[in-house]
Structure 1
Amino acid sequence: MGILATVVNVFVDEAGEHGNPLGIVWASTATRGHEQDIAADLGFSETVFIDEVDGRTVRARIFTPKQELRFAGHPTVGLAAWLRAAGDDIRHVAVPAGSARVRADGEFTWISADVDWAPEFELEQLDSPDEVDAVDPDAYTEGMHYVWAWLDEEAGKVRTRMFAPGLGIRTDEATGSAAIRLTAALGRDLQIEQGAGSRLVTHRRNLGREVEIGGRTTPGRDVELA
């Protein structure tokens, strides 16, 4: 029997479109020690492995196609949303960086995380959304880059794209950890449009030491790896 993964799209728009695919896998004897290979085979920007659900806490680990991460935004939001939709009253997602608080509000699932948990990105402001859209992902050969421009500065709306060849991610449809870093850098709540049309919302918390990030997540679909 192959390894079963569930795929959800995280940070979809109001119509349930776009969003960043996330692989969700229950850890088992078949997956332990092979997480990196499984994540590479799935090919998503991140795959999350569930080690345990203990009451209202889920313990998990996150892998890109190239390496394990201490924390990432779209896997924690997506995992919490998927488990809550299945009937688990998840209030915390515990990853190697720490335990992210979870809350639900209508269609949105939110997690709160320390800013320092998020990987550091090169935050590159451009003059217009059109310039953001015109960026060639292949212009980046290393590092992690979050390119952005104001859509409406007064309203806190921004247009973004992310490129992280160092993580094996040519371009990313929706990047929670980068949104956390941008929110902290700008010192304000944001409404973010990333990629082809994904939507992320952020709130500063705890005097800017934490950021809450939320969005919509689609129901899961199962795929089987040989």
Structure 2
Amino acid sequence: MAIDVTVLRVFTDRDGRYGNPLGVVDAATVDPGDRQRIATELGYSETIFVTPPAAGLHNAQARIYTPTTELPFAGHPTVGVSWWLKDRGMPIRTLQVPAGIVQVTYDGDLTAVSARAEWAPAFSIYDIASLEDLAAADPDDYADESEHYLWTWLDKEANTIRSRMFAPHLGIREDEATGAAAVRITEYLSRDLTIVQGQGSIIETTWSAEGWVRVAGRAVDDGQRQID
């Protein structure tokens, strides 16, 4: 039987452009043993399998997969599926993922999740000298067993950075928008940020000295796919 997949773009700009594709699947429709295969066949940087909240409740559960492995936490899937649930009349306050309980809030067209900084992978972070050097970076030069995050300032006074992320070992040559990396760079710089990543995706973060980072963004629904 074919499995329905909703395709979102998460961390779009204000006009609904750019954003990172995400596959969203109702976990009840898939055998757990098929999750990795489905994520691999879809080919998105992440696919999330969600158990929606029971009637009258506001907590959901989810598991997240890249094309090659399961992740305990990721930003664009948790923001995306939280938006998806609200769009279907099921707004949530918490989302249980293997790393822990993600707090969820909604503010206008922004959906936000709050996560512990240590839930995100330990990215190799590179402070790049200029926008030109950042644009010239080749993902093939970062093809080891690590997640690589490259960034430079767009406007330091406005706390705005430009970034790129490469993780070939996860099946992600270059990621368009990376919420987990946004968590790490926000912790690294210890300040709220506006992050412009990839072709023009936008991630907004809020730093907390207590070790929590709020990651917020917009999402759009790009329709349905089916996969066997």
Q: TM-score range by the shorter chain?
A: over 0.9
TM-score by structure 1 length?
0.97
Aligned identity (percent) is 47
Alignment TM-score, normalising by the size of structure 2: 0.96
Q: Which residue of 2 aligns with 1:62?
A: 64
Letter of the 1:114 counterpart: R
The question of whether the paired residues in 2 share the 8 Å contact of 1:184 and 1:208 is answered with no
| Unmatched segments (≥5 aa) in structure 2 | none
Q: Deviations over 1:86-125 (max 9, x none)?
A: 1112111110001111111111000100001111100101
Rounded to whole Å, the distance in 1 between the matches of 2:94 and 2:119 is 15
Note if 1:12 corresponds to 2:15: no
Q: Which residue of 1 aligns with 2:189?
A: 186
The question of 1:158 aligning with 2:156 is answered no
Tell whether the 8 Å contact from 2:95 to 2:103 is kept in structure 1 after alignment.
Answer: yes
Cα distance in 1 between the residues matched to 2:132 and 2:188: 22
Asked whether 1:136 is paired with 2:138, we answer yes
SS of residue in 1 equivalent to 2:150: strand
Q: How does 1:1-226 map to 2 (within 5 A)?
A: 1-28=1-28, 30-54=30-54, 55-142=57-144, 143-205=146-208, 207-226=209-228
SS in 1 for 2:40: helix
Number of residue pairs the alignment of both structures matches = 225
CA contact (8 A) 1:82 1:220 kept: no
**C-alpha distance in 2, partners of 1:70/1:42?**
19
Question: SS at the partner of 1:89?
Answer: coil
The one-letter code matched in structure 2 to 1:72 is A
CA distance in 1, matches of 2:29, 2:114: 31
Quote the Cα distance in structure 2 between the aligned partners of 1:175 and 1:31: 27
Contact 1:187 1:208 in 2 (8 A): no
3-state SS in 1 of match to 2:53: strand
Structure-2 separation of matches of 1:157 and 1:89? 30
Runs of 4+ in 1 over 4 A off after TM superposition: none
In structure 1, stretches of 5+ residues that fail to align are none
- Name the aligned partner's letter for residue 3 of structure 2: I
How large is the RMSD of aligned CA atoms in angstroms? 1.1
Query: In the aligned structure 1, how far is the partner of 2:141 from the partner of 2:163?
Result: 16
1:139 Cα deviation after fit: 1.1
Deviation at 1:165, TM superposition (A): 1.2
- The 1:22/1:29 distance shift into structure 2, 3 A limit, reads closer
Q: Partners of 1:162 and 1:89 in 2: how far apart?
A: 30
In structure 2, the residue corresponding to 1:77 is in which secondary structure?
helix
- Cα pair 2:45 2:175 within 8 Å, conserved: yes
Matched residue type, 2:25: V
* Structure 1 residue 29: Cα displacement: 5.9
Deviation (angstroms), 1:218: 0.3
